[in-house]
Amino acid sequence: MTGPVLITGGAGSVGRALAARFRADGRTVRVFDLPQVNYQGLEGEPGIEVLKGDITVPDTARAAVQGVSAVVHLAALLPPSSERNRQLTMAVNVDGAAHLAKALEAASPGAAFVFSSSVSTYGDTSKETPPVHPEHPQRSIDVYAESKIAAEALLKRSKLRPVILRIAGIAVPAFAEPPAVWPFMADQRMEFVHREDVVSALHAAVNAPEARGKVFNIAGGPTWQTLGRVYVADVFNVMGVPIEEARFRDSPGWCDWYDTAESQRILRYQNNRYQDFLGQLQAEVKKMMGE
């Protein structure tokens, strides 16, 4: 494992935190992202290579994988942007993954390949008995999920033995503008996951031989399993926002409770309980308010 770890979409918040984890291990990191994004804190840092480009360009994908020991593929067009232009979303999320996989097959087929997918690929499971297992059929309810299903399929056909992580909604302990509409109904089951635990899962997936070729659900665990209205009420209470301002979906979204027994056994990433998240969020709000 002498080559760098490639993180596509590495200039985002998850990518930056993951790069820091690998640097703490003493590993070199190659951060790949679009030319126009902010690379402050990455460019010129010891042990970090910055490569700017577009994953939809095959030549760029080939350059990105040269000499790498592992790839963590985070780059994707996310909702709501993914829902505005299906053609662009498929180009980035599906064709981009195909270019990367083909390039890695040619350059280093034995390198670890970790793909960031989504639990949204299960679609509406609200009328089924939880938890949702990784073997559950995939049924997209939006363009983003459709693109992730297609990307997963092509990666499974490759020679890479990818680790596919179907990640739940990511909770960040920071004051942020609430979404215009929460991605679940008020009484719908939902289970998010702490951002740091997502980073831990991605980091562990690169290093765990047992994970190769497997599909895992990545979610917060039992303490995070609640209902939409309860989660929003808890978050709004910490931020001082009246619950009456919350808007929920009128029909079921893709959220549910997930079976994470195997992912937790192999990756051991569930380190932040739901109560920890609320406490961290409260601390951040107080800090922002100067308390």
pLDDT (tens digit per residue) in 83-114: 999 999 999 999 999 999 999 999 999 999 99
Q: How many CA atoms lie within 13 A of 232 on its CB side?
A: 25
Task: Kindly state the tokens that stand for 75.
Answer: 């780059």
- DSSP assignment, residue 273? -
pLDDT (tens digit per residue) in 173-203: 998 888 999 999 999 999 999 999 999 999 9
d(CA 217, CA 116): 11
Contact 191, 229 (CB under 8 A): no
Domain boundaries, the chain: 5-288
Q: Provide the pLDDT for residue 289.
A: 78
Alpha helices in the chain (DSSP H): 13-24, 58-65, 86-90, 96-107, 143-156, 195-207, 228-239, 261-267, 274-288
Q: What are the mean pLDDT values of the chain's consecutive 10-residue runs (291 residues total)?
A: 91 97 97 97 96 96 96 97 97 98 95 98 97 98 98 97 98 90 97 98 97 98 98 95 94 97 98 98 88 68
Contact 159, 136 (CB under 8 A): no
What's this model's pTM, rounded to 2 decimal places?
Answer: 0.97
Domain spanning 5-288, CATH class: alpha beta
Q: Provide the pLDDT for residue 1.
A: 57
Q: Provide the pLDDT for residue 290.
A: 77
Q: Provide the pLDDT for residue 195.
A: 98
User: Among 76, 64, 74, 69, which residue's Cα sits nearest to residue 22?
Assistant: 69
Whether 144 is a known active-site residue: answer yes
Choose the catalytic residue: 122, 144, 231, 269: 144
